[in-house]
Amino acid sequence: MEDPWSEAEDDMWRWTVSPEEAPDEATYMDIRYEKGDIVAIDGVDMSAATVIEHLNKVAGANGVGRLDIVENRYVGMKSRGCYETPAGTVMMKAHRAIESLTLDREVAHMKDELMPKYAKLIYNGYWWAPERLMLQAAIDQTQDVVNGEVRIKLYKGSVSVVGRQSATDSLFDANIATFDDDGGAYNQADAEGFIKLNALRLRIAANRDRDLL
């Protein structure tokens, strides 16, 4: 275990089968979200604890959730660790999928910028620190619109998102996003001024560099 070059022995894993031993047929799951939390799987309402128990069982049986990493400990050393997180792996993938459909672009980007700081606070034991509580309040506010369903495919150690929908909070508009005739919903010519303004600094720099040659 302490040698990062050595492969972990297979019998050390407790919650997951090896991908080689996982079923040859994929397992599909429909996960329903309300305000960012999983509330049902495959139409069955579940508590948070039951969600984790169920996902650990099903995802682990499909070889999902093995992590072999070298991490940076708070005290300064690097340490090799092997972890099993079948439920966490599925939850993270599915949550990102429903957020991609329901969160505003800039909100999503800002949340992604905050997440490393949030994760660092938790890793280092600062769960009750005021800065963690502050970040939590901001993150919780973003989750008000994270409602809908995500369809997940589990197969031999992999987790794939194969569908996502939200009847109440989707920001995806097929009439605008289509590559076919959108009936005037989006005018390509509107981007002309935007492109010129954003390219202005690049054109100024190009003119300067040309004069220096």
CA distance linking residue 58 with residue 28, whole number of Å:
10
Q: Which domains does the chain have, with CATH numbers?
A: 1-103+146-171 (3.90.1260.10), 105-142 (no CATH)
* pLDDT of amino acid 45: 98
Closest CA to 65 of 33, 22, 29: 22
Give the pLDDT confidence score for residue 165 in this predicted structure.
98
- Residues near 75 by beta carbon (within 8 Å), at least 6 away in sequence: none
18 closest CA partner among 66, 53, 52, 55:
66
Supply the pLDDT for residue 194: 85
pLDDT of residue 183: 65
Q: What is the pTM of this model?
A: 0.87
d(CA 54, CA 92): 15
Strand partners, 154: 27, 159
User: Within the chain, which residues score under 50 in pLDDT?
Assistant: none
Question: Pairing relation of β-strands 27-34 and 37-41?
Answer: antiparallel
Q: For position 58, what pLDDT does the model report?
A: 98
Give the model's pLDDT for residue 208: 87
